[in-house]
A = this chain, B = another copy of it.
Amino acid sequence: MITSPAPGRAFASDNAAGVHPNVMAALQEANTGHALAYGDDPWTRSTESRMRDLFGPTAETFLVWNGTGANVVALATLLGPAQAVICTNWAHINVDETGAPERILGAKLIDLECPDGKLVPAQIEDQAHTLGDMHHAQPGVVSLTQSTEVGTAYSADEIASLCEAAHRFGMTVHLDGARLANAVAAHGASLSTLRSMTVDAGVDVLSFGATKNGMMYGEAVVCLNERAARVAPYVRKQVTQLPSKMRYVAAQINALLEDDLWLTLAGHSNEMAKRLYAATRDISGVVFAGPPVVNSVFPTLPPSTIAALQEWCFFWDWDASVHQVRWMTAWDTSAADVDAFATGVREILGVRHIA
Protein backbone atom coordinates (compact mmCIF):
# COMPACT_ATOMS: atom_id res chain seq x y z
CA MET A 1 0.00 0.00 0.00
CA ILE A 2 1.16 3.48 -0.82
CA THR A 3 0.43 6.18 1.72
CA SER A 4 1.76 9.23 -0.08
CA PRO A 5 -0.87 11.17 -2.03
CA ALA A 6 -1.48 10.09 -5.64
CA PRO A 7 -0.76 12.56 -8.45
CA GLY A 8 -3.63 14.70 -9.69
CA ARG A 9 -3.23 13.16 -13.12
CA ALA A 10 -2.31 9.54 -13.79
CA PHE A 11 0.09 8.18 -16.41
CA ALA A 12 -2.35 6.02 -18.36
CA SER A 13 -2.35 7.81 -21.70
CA ASP A 14 -2.33 11.17 -23.36
CA ASN A 15 -5.87 10.44 -24.45
CA ALA A 16 -6.94 10.56 -20.81
CA ALA A 17 -5.88 14.19 -20.61
CA GLY A 18 -8.33 17.06 -20.74
CA VAL A 19 -8.70 19.91 -23.19
CA HIS A 20 -6.35 22.90 -23.18
CA PRO A 21 -7.96 26.19 -22.06
CA ASN A 22 -7.16 27.90 -25.35
CA VAL A 23 -8.99 25.13 -27.18
CA MET A 24 -11.99 25.45 -24.89
CA ALA A 25 -11.99 29.19 -25.45
CA ALA A 26 -11.87 28.69 -29.19
CA LEU A 27 -14.90 26.41 -29.02
CA GLN A 28 -16.79 29.10 -27.13
CA GLU A 29 -15.81 31.74 -29.65
CA ALA A 30 -16.88 29.56 -32.55
CA ASN A 31 -20.29 29.07 -31.01
CA THR A 32 -21.93 32.04 -32.58
CA GLY A 33 -24.90 31.92 -34.88
CA HIS A 34 -25.20 29.58 -37.83
CA ALA A 35 -22.42 28.31 -40.07
CA LEU A 36 -22.85 25.99 -43.01
CA ALA A 37 -21.93 22.41 -42.23
CA TYR A 38 -19.23 20.15 -43.66
CA GLY A 39 -16.46 22.71 -43.84
CA ASP A 40 -18.02 25.55 -45.78
CA ASP A 41 -17.16 27.98 -42.98
CA PRO A 42 -14.39 30.51 -42.19
CA TRP A 43 -12.86 28.46 -39.36
CA THR A 44 -12.17 25.57 -41.70
CA ARG A 45 -10.75 27.85 -44.35
CA SER A 46 -8.41 29.24 -41.74
CA THR A 47 -7.27 25.73 -40.81
CA GLU A 48 -6.60 24.91 -44.43
CA SER A 49 -4.54 28.05 -44.76
CA ARG A 50 -2.58 27.41 -41.56
CA MET A 51 -1.82 23.88 -42.74
CA ARG A 52 -0.47 25.24 -46.01
CA ASP A 53 1.78 27.47 -43.91
CA LEU A 54 3.09 24.33 -42.23
CA PHE A 55 3.28 21.92 -45.13
CA GLY A 56 3.58 24.14 -48.18
CA PRO A 57 1.17 25.57 -50.71
CA THR A 58 0.00 22.29 -52.19
CA ALA A 59 -1.04 20.72 -48.89
CA GLU A 60 -4.74 19.89 -48.81
CA THR A 61 -6.26 19.36 -45.38
CA PHE A 62 -9.26 17.24 -44.50
CA LEU A 63 -10.52 17.39 -40.93
CA VAL A 64 -11.76 14.13 -39.47
CA TRP A 65 -12.99 12.75 -36.17
CA ASN A 66 -10.26 10.53 -34.80
CA GLY A 67 -6.97 8.76 -35.32
CA THR A 68 -8.28 5.48 -36.65
CA GLY A 69 -10.48 7.47 -38.99
CA ALA A 70 -7.57 9.61 -40.14
CA ASN A 71 -5.51 6.53 -40.92
CA VAL A 72 -8.31 4.84 -42.83
CA VAL A 73 -9.07 7.97 -44.85
CA ALA A 74 -5.38 8.48 -45.61
CA LEU A 75 -4.82 4.92 -46.74
CA ALA A 76 -8.03 4.92 -48.77
CA THR A 77 -6.82 7.88 -50.79
CA LEU A 78 -3.63 6.02 -51.70
CA LEU A 79 -4.53 2.38 -52.23
CA GLY A 80 -5.15 1.01 -55.71
CA PRO A 81 -6.82 -2.28 -56.68
CA ALA A 82 -5.30 -5.37 -55.04
CA GLN A 83 -2.70 -3.35 -53.18
CA ALA A 84 -1.45 -4.02 -49.66
CA VAL A 85 -0.04 -1.82 -46.91
CA ILE A 86 3.43 -2.41 -45.48
CA CYS A 87 3.71 -1.53 -41.78
CA THR A 88 5.46 -2.62 -38.61
CA ASN A 89 4.15 -5.32 -36.33
CA TRP A 90 3.57 -2.56 -33.75
CA ALA A 91 1.62 -0.28 -36.05
CA HIS A 92 -1.58 1.13 -34.58
CA ILE A 93 -3.33 0.23 -37.84
CA ASN A 94 -2.21 -3.35 -37.36
CA VAL A 95 -2.76 -3.85 -33.66
CA ASP A 96 -5.13 -1.32 -32.20
CA GLU A 97 -7.83 -0.60 -34.73
CA THR A 98 -9.90 -3.80 -34.51
CA GLY A 99 -9.19 -4.57 -38.12
CA ALA A 100 -10.64 -1.29 -39.41
CA PRO A 101 -8.17 -1.16 -42.32
CA GLU A 102 -8.96 -4.68 -43.46
CA ARG A 103 -12.70 -4.10 -43.21
CA ILE A 104 -12.94 -0.66 -44.74
CA LEU A 105 -10.04 -0.83 -47.18
CA GLY A 106 -10.36 -4.51 -48.04
CA ALA A 107 -6.58 -4.53 -48.06
CA LYS A 108 -3.99 -6.80 -46.54
CA LEU A 109 -1.59 -5.34 -44.00
CA ILE A 110 1.89 -6.78 -44.39
CA ASP A 111 3.21 -6.35 -40.87
CA LEU A 112 6.96 -6.68 -40.53
CA GLU A 113 8.94 -7.37 -37.39
CA CYS A 114 10.46 -4.10 -36.17
CA PRO A 115 11.55 -4.33 -32.54
CA ASP A 116 12.03 -0.57 -32.29
CA GLY A 117 8.84 0.27 -34.16
CA LYS A 118 10.74 1.57 -37.16
CA LEU A 119 10.85 0.21 -40.70
CA VAL A 120 14.07 0.25 -42.70
CA PRO A 121 14.38 0.59 -46.49
CA ALA A 122 15.66 -2.97 -46.87
CA GLN A 123 12.30 -4.24 -45.67
CA ILE A 124 10.57 -2.33 -48.43
CA GLU A 125 13.03 -3.66 -50.96
CA ASP A 126 12.43 -7.17 -49.71
CA GLN A 127 8.66 -6.84 -50.05
CA ALA A 128 9.06 -5.35 -53.50
CA HIS A 129 10.02 -8.81 -54.73
CA THR A 130 6.35 -9.72 -54.90
CA LEU A 131 5.58 -6.85 -57.28
CA GLY A 132 4.36 -8.27 -60.54
CA ASP A 133 3.43 -11.64 -59.04
CA MET A 134 -0.33 -11.94 -59.36
CA HIS A 135 -0.59 -14.44 -56.51
CA HIS A 136 0.36 -11.85 -53.92
CA ALA A 137 -1.31 -8.66 -52.78
CA GLN A 138 0.84 -5.92 -54.28
CA PRO A 139 2.63 -3.69 -51.80
CA GLY A 140 1.28 -0.27 -52.66
CA VAL A 141 1.55 1.89 -49.57
CA VAL A 142 4.16 2.06 -46.82
CA SER A 143 2.70 3.27 -43.52
CA LEU A 144 5.10 4.74 -40.96
CA THR A 145 4.24 6.02 -37.48
CA GLN A 146 6.01 9.11 -36.17
CA SER A 147 6.62 9.08 -33.23
CA THR A 148 6.20 5.33 -33.02
CA GLU A 149 3.92 3.21 -30.88
CA VAL A 150 6.93 2.12 -28.82
CA GLY A 151 8.17 5.58 -27.95
CA THR A 152 10.86 5.92 -30.61
CA ALA A 153 11.08 8.41 -33.45
CA TYR A 154 12.49 8.35 -36.95
CA SER A 155 15.04 10.93 -37.96
CA ALA A 156 14.15 13.03 -40.97
CA ASP A 157 16.79 11.21 -42.95
CA GLU A 158 15.32 7.85 -42.06
CA ILE A 159 11.91 8.93 -43.28
CA ALA A 160 13.43 10.34 -46.46
CA SER A 161 15.20 7.06 -47.13
CA LEU A 162 12.02 5.10 -46.63
CA CYS A 163 10.11 7.42 -48.94
CA GLU A 164 12.84 7.11 -51.54
CA ALA A 165 12.70 3.32 -51.38
CA ALA A 166 8.92 3.29 -51.55
CA HIS A 167 8.72 5.68 -54.47
CA ARG A 168 11.43 3.77 -56.32
CA PHE A 169 9.05 0.83 -56.46
CA GLY A 170 5.99 2.90 -57.27
CA MET A 171 4.65 2.77 -53.73
CA THR A 172 3.36 5.75 -51.79
CA VAL A 173 3.96 6.68 -48.15
CA HIS A 174 1.47 7.31 -45.35
CA LEU A 175 2.71 8.78 -42.10
CA ASP A 176 0.59 8.12 -39.03
CA GLY A 177 1.34 11.26 -37.09
CA ALA A 178 -0.95 10.70 -34.12
CA ARG A 179 2.02 11.90 -32.06
CA LEU A 180 3.90 13.74 -34.78
CA ALA A 181 4.04 16.81 -32.54
CA ASN A 182 6.07 14.91 -29.99
CA ALA A 183 8.59 13.85 -32.62
CA VAL A 184 8.90 17.36 -33.99
CA ALA A 185 9.30 18.75 -30.49
CA ALA A 186 11.96 16.17 -29.74
CA HIS A 187 13.95 17.13 -32.82
CA GLY A 188 13.99 20.89 -32.55
CA ALA A 189 10.38 22.01 -32.53
CA SER A 190 10.79 24.09 -35.64
CA LEU A 191 8.90 24.42 -38.87
CA SER A 192 11.92 23.10 -40.73
CA THR A 193 11.99 20.03 -38.51
CA LEU A 194 8.34 19.40 -39.29
CA ARG A 195 8.92 19.82 -43.00
CA SER A 196 12.04 17.67 -43.03
CA MET A 197 10.06 14.79 -41.56
CA THR A 198 7.06 15.11 -43.85
CA VAL A 199 6.79 17.09 -47.05
CA ASP A 200 10.53 17.39 -47.66
CA ALA A 201 11.06 13.70 -46.91
CA GLY A 202 8.51 12.74 -49.54
CA VAL A 203 5.54 11.66 -47.44
CA ASP A 204 2.40 11.45 -49.59
CA VAL A 205 -0.37 11.66 -47.00
CA LEU A 206 -0.19 12.11 -43.26
CA SER A 207 -2.50 11.75 -40.31
CA PHE A 208 -1.93 14.86 -38.22
CA GLY A 209 -2.70 14.11 -34.58
CA ALA A 210 -4.32 16.66 -32.35
CA THR A 211 -6.68 15.01 -29.86
CA LYS A 212 -3.89 13.60 -27.71
CA ASN A 213 -2.20 16.98 -27.74
CA GLY A 214 -4.80 19.10 -25.99
CA MET A 215 -7.90 18.93 -28.16
CA MET A 216 -11.30 17.50 -27.31
CA TYR A 217 -11.64 15.61 -30.60
CA GLY A 218 -10.56 15.91 -34.20
CA GLU A 219 -7.54 15.12 -36.33
CA ALA A 220 -6.46 16.14 -39.80
CA VAL A 221 -5.55 14.22 -42.91
CA VAL A 222 -3.02 16.23 -44.88
CA CYS A 223 -2.57 15.27 -48.51
CA LEU A 224 0.74 16.26 -50.06
CA ASN A 225 0.01 14.01 -53.03
CA GLU A 226 -2.31 15.68 -55.51
CA ARG A 227 -4.01 12.51 -56.65
CA ALA A 228 -4.83 11.58 -53.07
CA ALA A 229 -6.21 15.04 -52.44
CA ARG A 230 -8.60 14.73 -55.36
CA VAL A 231 -10.39 11.69 -53.95
CA ALA A 232 -10.11 12.61 -50.27
CA PRO A 233 -13.39 14.55 -49.98
CA TYR A 234 -15.46 11.61 -51.17
CA VAL A 235 -13.48 9.00 -49.30
CA ARG A 236 -13.72 10.99 -46.06
CA LYS A 237 -17.50 11.08 -46.21
CA GLN A 238 -17.72 7.46 -47.36
CA VAL A 239 -15.78 6.15 -44.39
CA THR A 240 -17.97 8.15 -41.93
CA GLN A 241 -15.27 10.69 -41.10
CA LEU A 242 -16.86 13.93 -42.25
CA PRO A 243 -17.79 16.12 -39.25
CA SER A 244 -21.02 18.03 -39.86
CA LYS A 245 -20.52 21.05 -37.60
CA MET A 246 -16.95 21.27 -38.78
CA ARG A 247 -16.29 24.75 -37.48
CA TYR A 248 -15.79 23.23 -34.03
CA VAL A 249 -13.01 20.93 -35.21
CA ALA A 250 -11.36 23.72 -37.15
CA ALA A 251 -11.57 26.18 -34.27
CA GLN A 252 -9.74 23.74 -32.02
CA ILE A 253 -6.94 23.12 -34.48
CA ASN A 254 -6.59 26.81 -35.11
CA ALA A 255 -6.11 27.36 -31.38
CA LEU A 256 -3.55 24.59 -31.26
CA LEU A 257 -1.59 25.97 -34.19
CA GLU A 258 -1.67 29.55 -32.89
CA ASP A 259 1.78 30.60 -31.67
CA ASP A 260 2.99 27.01 -32.00
CA LEU A 261 0.95 25.90 -29.01
CA TRP A 262 0.96 22.36 -30.43
CA LEU A 263 4.74 22.20 -30.20
CA THR A 264 4.83 23.80 -26.78
CA LEU A 265 2.38 21.21 -25.45
CA ALA A 266 4.16 18.28 -27.04
CA GLY A 267 7.49 19.57 -25.84
CA HIS A 268 6.16 19.85 -22.32
CA SER A 269 4.82 16.33 -22.49
CA ASN A 270 8.22 15.08 -23.65
CA GLU A 271 9.91 16.97 -20.82
CA MET A 272 7.67 15.38 -18.25
CA ALA A 273 8.66 11.93 -19.53
CA LYS A 274 12.28 12.86 -19.14
CA ARG A 275 11.60 14.09 -15.63
CA LEU A 276 9.80 10.87 -14.81
CA TYR A 277 12.69 8.85 -16.15
CA ALA A 278 15.21 10.89 -14.17
CA ALA A 279 13.14 10.62 -11.02
CA THR A 280 12.74 6.85 -11.12
CA ARG A 281 15.71 5.42 -13.01
CA ASP A 282 17.80 4.98 -9.91
CA ILE A 283 15.07 3.21 -7.93
CA SER A 284 16.13 -0.35 -7.39
CA GLY A 285 13.79 -2.66 -9.29
CA VAL A 286 12.83 -0.11 -11.95
CA VAL A 287 14.65 -0.98 -15.16
CA PHE A 288 14.63 1.17 -18.30
CA ALA A 289 16.05 0.29 -21.68
CA GLY A 290 17.09 3.93 -22.00
CA PRO A 291 15.88 7.50 -21.68
CA PRO A 292 12.61 8.52 -23.35
CA VAL A 293 12.60 10.03 -26.80
CA VAL A 294 9.08 11.40 -26.64
CA ASN A 295 6.34 11.20 -24.00
CA SER A 296 6.42 7.63 -22.76
CA VAL A 297 8.70 5.28 -20.86
CA PHE A 298 8.45 1.50 -20.70
CA PRO A 299 10.05 0.30 -17.46
CA THR A 300 10.03 -3.21 -16.11
CA LEU A 301 9.01 -3.49 -12.48
CA PRO A 302 9.09 -6.16 -9.83
CA PRO A 303 5.94 -8.21 -10.55
CA SER A 304 4.61 -7.95 -7.03
CA THR A 305 4.50 -4.15 -7.14
CA ILE A 306 2.61 -3.50 -10.35
CA ALA A 307 -0.97 -4.03 -9.24
CA ALA A 308 -0.60 -1.90 -6.13
CA LEU A 309 1.00 0.89 -8.07
CA GLN A 310 -1.74 0.77 -10.71
CA GLU A 311 -4.43 0.85 -8.08
CA TRP A 312 -2.87 3.93 -6.55
CA CYS A 313 -2.28 5.72 -9.84
CA PHE A 314 -3.39 3.97 -12.99
CA PHE A 315 -1.20 3.06 -15.95
CA TRP A 316 -1.33 0.24 -18.50
CA ASP A 317 0.62 -2.97 -18.73
CA TRP A 318 2.76 -3.15 -21.84
CA ASP A 319 4.20 -6.66 -21.93
CA ALA A 320 2.87 -8.58 -18.96
CA SER A 321 5.04 -11.58 -19.74
CA VAL A 322 8.15 -9.59 -18.77
CA HIS A 323 6.47 -7.25 -16.25
CA GLN A 324 6.92 -4.27 -18.50
CA VAL A 325 4.56 -1.32 -18.15
CA ARG A 326 3.98 1.97 -19.92
CA TRP A 327 4.01 5.32 -18.20
CA MET A 328 2.79 8.05 -20.49
CA THR A 329 2.80 11.77 -19.92
CA ALA A 330 0.46 14.32 -21.45
CA TRP A 331 0.30 18.01 -22.27
CA ASP A 332 -1.19 18.67 -18.83
CA THR A 333 1.09 16.47 -16.74
CA SER A 334 2.73 18.69 -14.13
CA ALA A 335 6.12 18.42 -12.50
CA ALA A 336 4.22 17.88 -9.26
CA ASP A 337 2.39 14.93 -10.82
CA VAL A 338 5.69 13.40 -11.81
CA ASP A 339 7.29 13.98 -8.46
CA ALA A 340 4.30 12.59 -6.57
CA PHE A 341 4.32 9.53 -8.79
CA ALA A 342 8.05 8.97 -8.30
CA THR A 343 7.49 9.20 -4.56
CA GLY A 344 4.89 6.47 -4.79
CA VAL A 345 7.13 4.28 -6.89
CA ARG A 346 9.92 4.74 -4.41
CA GLU A 347 7.57 3.91 -1.56
CA ILE A 348 6.14 0.73 -3.03
CA LEU A 349 9.53 -0.53 -4.03
CA GLY A 350 10.99 0.35 -0.66
CA VAL A 351 8.10 -1.36 1.15
CA ARG A 352 8.61 -4.38 -0.99
CA HIS A 353 12.27 -4.57 -0.18
CA ILE A 354 11.66 -4.24 3.54
CA ALA A 355 8.85 -6.80 3.62
Contacts and interface: CB of A to CB of B under 8 A. Distances in A.
A216 B248 contact: yes
Interface string A237-265: 11111111100100000000000000000
Given A18-B34, A99-B108, A108-B109, 20 more contacts: A10-B34, A15-B244, A16-B37, A24-B28, A27-B216, A66-B242, A69-B240, A79-B81, A80-B231, A81-B238, A82-B231, A82-B238, A96-B136, A98-B138, A103-B104, A103-B239, A104-B239, A135-B237, A211-B244, A217-B248
Interface residues of A, number: 74
A305 interface: no
Q: From DSSP, what is the main secondary structure of chain A's interface residues?
A: loop
Given A8-B33, A24-B31, A99-B107, A82 B217 contact: no
Nearest to A104: B104
Interface of A: 8-10, 12-13, 15-19, 24, 27-28, 31-38, 65-69, 72, 76-77, 79-82, 84, 95-100, 102-104, 106-109, 134-138, 211-212, 216-217, 231, 233-245, 248, 314, 330, 332
A16 B36 contact: yes
26 contacts: A10-B34, A12-B36, A16-B37, A16-B245, A18-B34, A18-B35, A34-B332, A65-B69, A76-B81, A81-B234, A81-B235, A96-B136, A99-B107, A99-B108, A102-B102, A102-B137, A103-B238, A104-B106, A106-B106, A108-B109, A134-B242, A137-B234, A217-B243, A217-B244, A217-B245, A240-B240
Contacts of A35: 16, 18
A183 to B, nearest CB: 20
Contact of A16 (B34, B69, B135): B34
Given A82-B231, A136-B98, A68 B106 contact: no
Contact of A67 (B100, B231, B244): B244
B240 A241 contact: yes
A66 to B, nearest CB: 6
A129 to B, nearest CB: 9
Contacts of A243: 65-66, 217
B17 A134 contact: no
How many copies of the chain does the oligomer comprise?
4
Contacts of A8: 33
A32 B231 CA distance: 39
Contact of A99 (B17, B82, B216, B242): B82
